[in-house]
Amino acid sequence: MIPARRVKQPSLSQLRAFAAVAEHLHFRDAAAAIGMSQPALSGAVSALEEALGVQLLERTTRKVLLSPAGERLAVRARAVLDAVAELMEEAEAAQAPFTGVLRLGVIPTVAPYLLPTVLRLVHRRYPDLDLQVHEEQTSSLLEGLAAGRLDLLLLAVPLGVPGVTELPLFDEDFVLVTPQGHPLAGRDDIPREALKELRLLLLDEGHCLRDQALDICREAGRTDGAEVTTTAAGLSTLVQLVAGGLGVTLLPRTAVTVETARNNALWTGLFTEPAPARRIALAMRTGTARHAEFEELAAELRGAMRGLPVRVLDGAPETRRYGQREPAPGTRRYE
């Protein structure tokens, strides 16, 4: 059996030389167009013909013509050179921070309350960034981050997941939401122990806020026998069930104004210090090429969130500093 001839790979300089000759049909003009000497240009085209095993040009003393094979391959050569040029442009654009697509995953108990702040910041500071938002539960977000479907997450931490780096943004207290007339409505000195016997309404399985609330209850000494009723898939439904007198619930403070404003039958109460709280952070793949970009975004978000009822964190875990706690609403409804 005769072995197949191994075709040499043409170089970009050979393709560039041939494309120039195919366009100008003149060696001198082609060489001038691409800044190459005429002998070097001629040698590059000959080397390409040898590598491909076909004659590309018909040379005479007065002019240059493309062979039938040369006419077909000139189109291919130009397409390759155009594709390489586009690749280089894309690589150059990728070097610029805050350009291209950023796929941000957000948990449902954060998205409605923090996205307005996030979107205002992005539109003002990073107008060339194509921000795409995906609202999903924590487990789905982490799967998307690991698979490369998502670039950055905004969610409650700690996650304790290998290969994920957290950029803490702020801590926020939990607030007890009660129906009007409840013994704890409007108080600012609720002890955690009060959670032991309350009829507590929580989100469905899979929401990290449910798990956080249960952890708070266990820390308060609530036993497994105490009644915990799971009745809602979202916070909006949950607080309306509270307003209807079915029980009480816990809300993060960033959610209180949005979720209680539509119903005057909803009242809030604050816990004594240290109040139960959750931490919100950005999370990224450890070692991502956009690490510096995401660090900068986290710093900008911390500044943008100082007007919210939260304790903004310093970026360095070992030197985190807390802002001032929001004043307690006393016996008033939290507005």
The residue segments making up the domain with residue 69 are 12-95
Asked whether the predicted pLDDT for residue 322 surpasses 60, the reply is: no
Q: What is the mean pLDDT of residues 27-38?
A: 90
Q: Which of 95, 114, 129 corresponds to the end of one domain?
A: 95
Q: Which two tokens stand for residue 68?
A: 């039938």
Query: Contact at 8 Å (CB) between 255 and 132?
Result: no
Asked whether the predicted pLDDT for residue 261 surpasses 50, the reply is: yes
Average pLDDT of the chain? Answer: 84
Domain CATH code at residue 26: 1.10.10.10
When divided into structural domains, the chain yields a total of 3
pLDDT bracket for residue 22 (50, 70, 90)? very high
In tens, the pLDDT along 72-103 reads: 999 999 999 989 888 876 776 666 778 888 99
Query: Contact at 8 Å (CB) between 30 and 17?
Result: yes
Asked whether the predicted pLDDT for residue 49 surpasses 60, the reply is: yes
Please indicate whether residue 195 or residue 308 has the higher confidence score (pLDDT).
Answer: 308
- What percent of the chain is modeled with pLDDT above 90? 45
7 φ, ψ (degrees, to nearest 5): -85, 130
Task: State the burial class of residue 231 (Cβ atoms within 10 Å of its Cβ: 0-12, 13-18, 19+).
Answer: middle
Q: Which two tokens stand for residue 24?
A: 């100008």
Tell me, what's the pLDDT at 213?
Answer: 77
- DSSP SS3 for 41: helix
Tell me, what's the pLDDT at 237?
Answer: 86
Tell me, what's the pLDDT at 7?
Answer: 59
Please indicate whether residue 21 or residue 211 has the higher confidence score (pLDDT).
Answer: 21
Asked whether the predicted pLDDT for residue 201 surpasses 50, the reply is: yes
Query: Shortest CA distance to 56 belongs to which of 81, 83, 25?
Result: 25
- Both 85 and 140 in a single domain? no
- Both 261 and 296 in a single domain? no
Domain CATH code at residue 235: 3.40.190.10
- Both 182 and 260 in a single domain? yes
Q: Which two tokens stand for residue 239?
A: 């607080």
Asked whether the predicted pLDDT for residue 318 surpasses 60, the reply is: no
Tell me, what's the pLDDT at 323?
Answer: 35
- Both 76 and 205 in a single domain? no
Q: What is the mean pLDDT of residues 240-247?
A: 88
Q: Look up residue 252 and give its amino acid.
A: P
Total residues found in the chain within this entry: 335
Q: What is the mean pLDDT of residues 299-306?
A: 94
Q: Look up residue 120 and give its amino acid.
A: R
Residue 274 lies in a domain: no
- Both 261 and 178 in a single domain? yes
Tell me, what's the pLDDT at 93?
Answer: 63
Residue 326 lies in a domain: no
- Both 117 and 82 in a single domain? no
Our measurement of the distance from residue 162's CA atom to the centroid of its chain's CA atoms, rounded to an integer in Å, reads 18
CA 286/CA 269 separation, integer angstroms: 39
Query: Contact at 8 Å (CB) between 138 and 156?
Result: yes
- Both 161 and 175 in a single domain? no
Query: Contact at 8 Å (CB) between 118 and 154?
Result: yes
Ramachandran quadrant class, 148 (left: phi over 0; alpha: psi -120 to 50; beta: rest):
left
Asked whether the predicted pLDDT for residue 60 surpasses 90, the reply is: no
Q: What is the mean pLDDT of residues 2-27?
A: 82
Please indicate whether residue 262 or residue 290 has the higher confidence score (pLDDT).
Answer: 290
Element (H, E) at 16: helix 12-24
CA 195/CA 178 separation, integer angstroms: 12
- DSSP SS3 for 34: helix
Tell me, what's the pLDDT at 289?
Answer: 85
- Both 60 and 28 in a single domain? yes
- DSSP SS3 for 14: helix
Please count the helices (runs of H) and the strands (runs of E) in the chain. 10, 12
In tens, the pLDDT along 109-137 reads: 899 999 999 999 999 999 989 999 999 99
Asked whether the predicted pLDDT for residue 6 surpasses 60, the reply is: no
Counting other chains too, the contacts that 69-78 makes at CB distance below 8 Å and 24 or more residues apart are: 70/18, 70/22, 73/18, 74/18, 74/19, 74/22, 77/15, 77/18, 77/19, 77/22, 78/19, 78/22
CA 229/CA 246 separation, integer angstroms: 10
Tell me, what's the pLDDT at 195?
Answer: 82
